[in-house]
């Protein structure tokens, strides 16, 4: 008897030994992704310096003395005063690259497959990462950060989708949360590397070399069985499911997959980004999700990049801004699986709390004590927006059918990169008032939390493999029946 893909996962195992090994590789990859994403925080750190203007007044060359025990692009290329904007520009170029990578890699992996697009992206990520470390001047450094952004963002997006599509639907929230948790730990790992490697070029080389290990191990990954199934390649999907079943310690399956609803009509072109606009069910979801992703990135990276602006130990601040996210993920896993909270309400409250935490900093003084310090509230805001960002990945994956999942995630990730592009410049608004950056982040979080209410709940709902399933009355009845059975 022909079976559907979810039934095949039930027979092979939803999260057995084989899937743990496959997802472990992709989850640990986030340490490398995190190092590249926040590289500029330490590589572009601005140390204290003294300008000896007397020499310049006497007709000699102006001399700058940096009072630090580390190097950065600032100390090597004297990116201070009128040249200081170049540090934020390099960071924004990286996020502009992420935007392009998210636009291109999502649809490419929907058409060509997850594995080849992922491995190609990781390869070029490593190559351009070495160009960053060896750049002879600022121009090449800035261009390399832009190119790293393109391939890093696209590769990370496809790897996240793979972690979801190797496992049964009931484990999506777990693997998604674990992926984002590892990204947070990766920020702390990068801070630790920076503490011991004070020369910025060596730091960039060490951070990038992590990618080589993951690249070599990635060749053992199979193609996504969900992608194969959505493309009508049922025989290949069956082979991958057999591989998973045997790796999980199961006996060889007597498995025959029935054709996916989305592959019955061969005369139609494969779905693309335009289908997100063309289909009414997906159009409104996409608009709301794009704004939510924009705000999550805007607040997340704004607060992270602001770590270098805080007083105290630079490396400790960066590590804290990563580690403060760790408690957010158990909270996510707990709340999003409860019928009284689910995905939608949980994300709304985390965004709201992040907004309030940032806004309340304007009422506090810098010397108001540890428990009521702006830094502590900013860390709370970072934890809350990290939780919302984590849910956004899981929630968005469930709101799109398999044939458009990468395209949908790509468009949402594209919009969030606009937030990343703007985020490096927000901390500079403290020249108006120290609280202005946090007020901007706070209002953004509150507005995104409100818009979350316009999205449907996906907890205990079946995953659509095709657009036809998403829109058909039969699918909607199935959703209602399954929700009633599990409530």
> Over the chain (487 residues), what is each successive 10-residue block's mean pLDDT?
77 91 96 94 86 58 78 89 87 89 85 93 97 96 96 92 90 87 93 94 95 95 91 88 90 78 56 78 90 90 65 81 85 87 93 87 63 72 88 88 81 83 76 78 92 90 75 46 42
Cα–Cα distances in Å, from 368 out to 23, 303, 365, 442? Answer: 45, 20, 5, 20
Closest to 118 (Cα-Cα) out of 217, 204, 48, 193: 217
Question: Which residues pair with residue 66 across a beta bridge?
Answer: 49
Position 482 scores a pLDDT of 42
Q: What is the pLDDT of residue 42?
A: 92
pLDDT on residue 480: 44
- Whether the Cβ atoms of residue 347 and residue 459 lie closer than 8 Å to each other: no
Q: What is the pTM of this model?
A: 0.79
Residues in the chain: 487
Residue partners of 446: CB distance under 8 A and separation at least 6: 351, 352, 355, 356, 359
Tokens of 158: 């496809």
Give the Cα-Cα-Cα angle 111, 116, 119 (nearest 5 degrees). Answer: 135
Task: Tell me the two tokens of residue 35.
Answer: 């190092």
CA-CA distances (angstroms) from residue 442 to 73, 271, 422, 453, 472?
31, 37, 15, 18, 40
Instruction: Give me 404's structure tokens.
Output: 């458009």
**Closest to 100 (Cα-Cα) out of 415, 399, 463:** 415
| First-to-last C-alpha distance (Å) of the chain | 30
């Amino acid at each position: 008897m022909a079976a559907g893909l979810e039934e095949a996962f039930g027979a092979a195992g939803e999260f057995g030994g084989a899937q743990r090994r496959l997802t472990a590789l992709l989850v640990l990859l986030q340490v490398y992704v995190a190092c590249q994403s926040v590289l500029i925080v330490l590589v572009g750190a601005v140390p204290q310096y003294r300008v000896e203007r007397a020499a310049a007044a006497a007709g000699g060359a102006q001399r700058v003395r940096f009072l630090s025990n580390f190097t950065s692009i600032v100390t090597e290329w004297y990116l201070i005063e009128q040249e200081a904007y170049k540090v934020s520009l390099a960071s924004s170029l990286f996020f502009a690259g992420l935007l392009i990578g998210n636009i291109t890699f999502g649809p490419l992996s929907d058409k060509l497959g997850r594995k080849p697009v992922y491995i190609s992206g990781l390869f070029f990520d490593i190559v351009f990462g070495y160009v960053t470390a060896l750049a002879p001047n600022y121009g090449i450094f800035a261009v390399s950060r832009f190119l790293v952004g393109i391939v890093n963002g696209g590769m990370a997006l496809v790897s996240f989708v793979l972690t979801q599509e190797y496992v049964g639907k009931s484990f999506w929230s777990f693997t998604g949360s674990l992926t984002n948790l590892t990204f947070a730990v990766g920020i702390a790992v990068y801070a630790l590397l920076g503490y011991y490697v004070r020369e910025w070029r060596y730091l960039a080389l060490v951070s990038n070399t992590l990618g080589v290990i993951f690249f070599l191990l990635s060749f053992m990954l199979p193609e996504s069985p969900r992608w194969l199934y959505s493309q009508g390649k049922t025989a290949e999907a069956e082979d991958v499911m057999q591989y998973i079943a045997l790796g999980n310690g199961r006996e060889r399956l007597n498995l025959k997959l029935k054709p996916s609803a989305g592959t019955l009509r061969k005369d139609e072109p494969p779905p693309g980004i335009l289908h997100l606009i063309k289909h009414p069910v997906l159009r409104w979801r996409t608009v709301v999700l794009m704004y939510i992703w924009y705000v999550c990135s805007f607040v997340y990276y704004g607060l992270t990049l602001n770590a270098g602006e805080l007083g105290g130990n630079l490396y400790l601040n960066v590590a804290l801004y990563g580690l403060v996210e760790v408690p957010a993920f158990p909270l996510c896993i707990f709340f999003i699986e409860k019928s009284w909270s689910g995905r939608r309400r949980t994300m709304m409250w985390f965004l709201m709390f992040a907004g309030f935490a940032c806004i309340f900093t304007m009422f506090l003084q810098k010397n108001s004590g540890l428990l009521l310090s702006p830094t502590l509230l900013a860390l709370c805001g970072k934890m809350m927006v990290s939780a919302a960002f984590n849910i956004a990945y899981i929630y968005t994956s469930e709101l799109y059918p398999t044939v458009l999942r990468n395209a949908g995630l790509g468009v949402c990730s594209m919009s969030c990169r606009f937030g990343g592009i703007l985020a490096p410049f927000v901390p500079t608004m403290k020249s108006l008032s120290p609280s202005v950056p946090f007020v901007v982040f706070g209002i953004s979080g509150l507005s995104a939390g409100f818009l979350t209410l316009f999205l449907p709940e996906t907890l205990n709902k079946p995953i659509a493999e095709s657009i036809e399933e998403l829109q058909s009355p039969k699918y909607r009845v199935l959703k209602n029946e399954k929700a009633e059975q599990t409530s």
